[in-house]
Amino acid sequence: MTRRPTTWVLLTVLGVLVAIAAPVGWFLTRPSGTVGAEAAEALASGTPVPTPPAARTGSSPAAAPAAPAVPTRDGRVGAAGSTLAAPVRVELPSLDVRSEIRPVGVDRAGDLEIPENVAQVGWYRYGPRPGDPAGSTVLSGHVDSAEQGQGAFFRLRELRPGDPVVVRGEDGRSWRYRVVSREEWPKSEVPLDRIFSRGGAPRLTLVTCGGGFREDIRSYQDNIAVTAVPEAAR
DSSP classification of residue 113 = B
The rounded radius of gyration (Å) of the Cα atoms in the chain is 16
CA angle 180/182/187 to nearest 5° reads 145
Tell me if 185 is assigned to some domain: yes
* pLDDT, tens digit, 9 for 90 and up, residues 128-187: 999 999 999 999 999 887 888 899 999 999 999 999 999 999 999 999 999 999 999 988
Looking at the structure of the chain, the number of domains it has is: 1
Domain hosting 215: range is 10-50+85-233
Tell me if 56 is assigned to some domain: no
Please tell me the distance from the alpha carbon of residue 127 to that of residue 153, in angstroms, as a whole number. 20
- Which range (138-142, 215-219, 223-227) has the least confidence? 215-219
* CATH for 108: 2.40.260.10
- The residue-averaged pLDDT of 208-231 equals 79
DSSP classification of residue 147 = T
Tell me if 55 is assigned to some domain: no
